[in-house]
Amino acid sequence: MKKYLILGILSLFILSFLFIYQSSRFQDGRLHMVACNVGQGDAIFIRTEGGLDVLIDGGPDDKVLNCLANHMPFWDKTLEVVILTHPDADHLRGLVSVVERYKINYFVTVDIPKTTAVYKLFQSKLKEKNISAKYLFAGDKINFGKSSMTLFWPQKQFFLENSKYAGKGSLGSNDFAIVGKLNYGKFSALLTADAGANILDKFAWNIGKTGALKVPHHGSKTGMSDLFLTSIKPEIAIISVGERNNYGHPAALSLELLKKYNINILRTDLNGEVEVVSDGVKFWLH
């Protein structure tokens, strides 16, 4: 009996220590933005200054679960906001596992249905968990307390006129992907999903200066232009990309363009997980 009492007290002590440690670690009053190392795909986790958890895309497999486990307290199984920028598998597949394991309070995506098996599986999981999608457009804002995300794309009129042609002509799902700017005090980060220069140049002038840039389309050669970079003037550029991928990402042209403007480049294939932290005045890499 005494043995079990000692074990019980020890277990309680360990749990109390873990609770205190993780509470202080994950609730520091700062904004954390993490480019998860998920290989050839995108998954961005944000923990707001107020402790809300936001996930943008889920990557190509369940590696995103490791990223969430590393940046959320072990007892926290709720994501306040999940955004699927577009339904390509390298952004979508990991969200199947996320929906199975986490409660999702608010789900945002773009209404570009696909006929792929993974898209159908994801839709069935959403239905099973009674999660309904919200469709937002340029000009809409998602508030996270003192931080927020302002959407710049898709523009509603463009979407209504062209979405029916997605995948049937020159336009693909990338051209309708959600592009948003994360703002917290003086810090901002532009999250571009897989949009290309043909889309980003339409509103680059309206974005304003940006501290961090999530490089569009894994560093594809058609992702950025001089107009785009001179409009937003980022200090750092984060490329979410898989090691030795089959697409040649990031393209030499994109790397040269970033270097031309003296932008600090970070890559998940070389640097692993990239975490940006901000107190609303300045930001730094963790």
CATH number of the domain bearing residue 209 = 3.60.15.10
Q: End-to-end alpha-carbon separation of the chain, Å?
A: 47
For residue 16, being part of any structural domain is answered with: no
Q: Is the pTM of this model over 0.75?
A: yes
- Residue in 151, 207, 138 with CA at minimum distance from that of residue 180: 151
**Segment 71-77 mean pLDDT:** 95
> 12 or 169: whose pLDDT is higher?
169
> Can you give the C-alpha Rg of the chain in angstroms?
20
Confidence of residue 26 (pLDDT cuts 50, 70, 90): low
Confidence of residue 3 (pLDDT cuts 50, 70, 90): low
Task: Mean pLDDT check: name the lowest of 1-5, 37-41, 178-182, 196-200.
Answer: 1-5
For residue 23, being part of any structural domain is answered with: no
CB 176 within 8 A of CB 161: no
Place of tokens 């002509």: 169
Q: Which domain holds residue 270?
A: 29-285
Instruction: Give the model confidence (pLDDT) of 248-279 as tens digits.
Output: 999 999 999 999 999 999 999 999 999 999 99
**Is 222 strand, coil or helix?**
coil
CA pair distance 138, 78, nearest whole angstrom: 27
For residue 56, being part of any structural domain is answered with: yes
Q: Each residue of 90-110: b (16+ CB within 10 Å) or e?
A: bbbbbbbbbbeebebeebbbb
Beta bridge partners of 104: 79
For residue 18, being part of any structural domain is answered with: no
Instruction: Tell whether omega for the bond before 250 is within 30 degrees of 0, i.e. cis.
Output: yes
**Is 158 strand, coil or helix?**
helix
Tell me the residue length of the chain. 286
Confidence of residue 6 (pLDDT cuts 50, 70, 90): low
For residue 21, being part of any structural domain is answered with: no
For residue 177, being part of any structural domain is answered with: yes
**163-172 long-range contacts, CB within 8 A, separation 24+:** 163/111, 163/112, 166/112, 167/114
Indicate the number of domains in the chain.
1
For residue 119, being part of any structural domain is answered with: yes
CA pair distance 236, 33, nearest whole angstrom: 13
Spell out the residues 6+ positions from residue 181 whose beta carbon is closer than 8 angstroms to its own.
149, 150, 152, 188, 189, 190, 191, 207, 208, 210
C-beta atoms surrounding 58 within 10 Å? 31
Which pair of structure tokens corresponds to residue 198?
Answer: 């043909």
- Residue in 137, 138, 135, 124 with CA at minimum distance from that of residue 95: 124
For residue 14, being part of any structural domain is answered with: no
